Amino acid sequence: MWAKHQNPSLEVHCECASLQLTIFILDETGYILSSSSNPHVTTQGIVLMERYELGRLLGQGTFAKVYYGRNTRTGQGVAIKVIDKEKVLRVGLTNQIKREISIMRLVKHPNILELYEVMATKTKIYFALEYAKGGELFDKVSKGRLKEQIARKYFQQLINAVDFCHSRGVYHRDLKPENLLLDENDNLKVSDFGLSALAESKHQDGLLHTTCGTPAYVAPEVINRKGYEGDKADIWSCGVILYVLLTGHLPFHDSNLMEMYRKIGKAEFKCPNWFPPEVKRLLTRMLEPNPEYRITIAKIKENTWFKKSTNVRKSRNETKNKDSDSSDRASGSSEQKQEMNISKREAGLLKLEATKEGRKGILSIDTEVFEFTNSFHMVEVKKSNGDTLEYQKVSDYVAYSYVTFILAYVIVL
């Protein structure tokens, strides 16, 4: 699971003897973006293969850890998956790793997490992957069912990605919300091809025989261990995911695993009364226990509910702002800097407020100064009101433009 993002902070190092203060501006990953003495100073952390700086830990599993990283040449944020060679060799997963690399190089699609490159040392294997800032889709749906148009958007993107995989002879075999990530624009990215298979993996009977996947999302023919077609098994999993997105819970669930398998085998599930008729028909066809009669992706795309547009109507102000931003970028003009006022609330607390109202009201930023020693302070910066995008755009400007004020307050605290 991707770790949650932390708020940006400013670390202030104060050398009181000479009254020289240096501000280090840190981003949400903990990297030093710049300083008041050198705007281009960077963190002296671990640099991988002279190409990627490693940052905070995003998540970990049995055989690998995932870190946030940054391309030292382009500045692009990436996810670095670090695999322990010794552990992989010990359990005989070498071929699986090789297959995952081969498959991810085959499936380059807007809704599939991209593998940029693979690196290795004597003890580690490194995957440089696209960084999905939005985290797992699971985190969203675990809070409750999604709005229908949002669920449809994710489902459309999922089906498009899976369709592309199948066109390349790739079967995922472990589709579930935990393996569906979201980028900064809220677009879905299929990830984790560790259990995927290629068409060439089929036996002489033309079927796959490896039983794998997550029980609640796996197709009945996979459970029966009599061989299965990878594309049809993936379609079943997509059906379970669609049900979860629309309801917030699983169609097949039981504390007893064998009872859950029985329900899966007979497709014992109920659609809520408020489901649109087209969705009920679609789910019934996708969660068909007999793979011979299960709907194909081509037919899913012909479903009237699937084909509906997911465009969200935007307000006139949002459209105007977007057009204005596009015009500025096209003309090469720089964005106007947000003017902000600073006020002292109480000991250690400062408040920065924009002088003009933004898209979601007045942008307001709270700062709190922590004194660790007489010569070391840290200033934490958090957005308390206003639009997140506007906050991100002005965060660096706020740090630089008001460094004098912040330092002044630090001195007198």
Note the pLDDT tens digit of each residue in 264-301: 999 999 999 999 999 999 999 999 999 999 999 999 99
pLDDT at 346: 61
**Which tens digits make up the pLDDT trace of 20-52?**
343 444 444 444 344 343 333 343 458 888 889
SS3 state at 409: helix
Residues of the chain with CATH 1.10.510.10: 135-297
In degrees to the nearest 10, what's the CA dihedral of 392, 397, 399, 404? -160
Residues of the chain with CATH 3.30.200.20: 46-131
Q: Which of 199-203, 205-209, 292-296, 386-390 has the lowest mean pLDDT?
A: 386-390
Asked if residue 313 has pLDDT above 60, the reply is no
As a whole-number percent, the residues of the chain with pLDDT over 70 amount to: 72
**Which tens digits make up the pLDDT trace of 52-89?**
999 989 988 888 999 999 999 999 999 999 999 999 99
Considering the domain delimited by 46-131, tell me its CATH architecture.
Answer: 2-Layer Sandwich (3.30)
Pick the CATH number of 135-297 from 1.10.510.10, 1.10.4190.10, 3.40.190.10, 1.20.120.140: 1.10.510.10
Phi-psi region of 87 (alpha: psi -120 to 50; beta: other; left: phi over 0): alpha
Which tokens sit at 290? 């007999």
Q: Which residues are annotated as a binding site?
A: 81
Please tell me which residue, 305 or 404, carries the higher pLDDT value. Answer: 305
pLDDT at 60: 86
Closest CA to 132 of 71, 192, 189: 189
Residues of the chain with CATH 3.30.310.80: 335-412
Q: Which of 129-143, 212-226, 326-340 has the lowest mean pLDDT?
A: 326-340
Q: Is the Cβ–Cβ distance between 71 and 51 less than 8 Å?
A: yes
- 378 pLDDT band, cuts 50/70/90, is low
Nearest-angstrom CA–CA distance, 411 and 413? 6
- Separation of CA 89 from chain center: 29
Strands (E), 29-156: 32-35, 47-48, 52-60, 64-71, 77-84, 115-120, 124-130, 135-136
Q: Residues 302-306: what's their mean pLDDT?
A: 96
Please tell me which residue, 182 or 405, carries the higher pLDDT value. Answer: 182
Reported residue count of the chain is 413
Q: Which of 104-113, 239-248, 399-408 has the lowest mean pLDDT?
A: 399-408
- 369 pLDDT band, cuts 50/70/90, is low
Asked if residue 17 has pLDDT above 70, the reply is no
Closest CA to 188 of 234, 226, 150: 150
Pairing type for strands 124-130 and 115-120 reads antiparallel
Nearest-angstrom CA–CA distance, 210 and 79? 29
User: CB neighbours (10 Å) of residue 186?
Assistant: 12
Q: Which of 129-138, 169-178, 201-210 has the lowest mean pLDDT?
A: 201-210
Catalytic one of 27, 139, 163, 174 = 174
Among this protein's residues, is 174 annotated catalytic? yes
Q: What is the pTM of this model?
A: 0.66
Please tell me which residue, 370 or 84, carries the higher pLDDT value. Answer: 84
pLDDT at 7: 38
CATH number of 335-412: 3.30.310.80
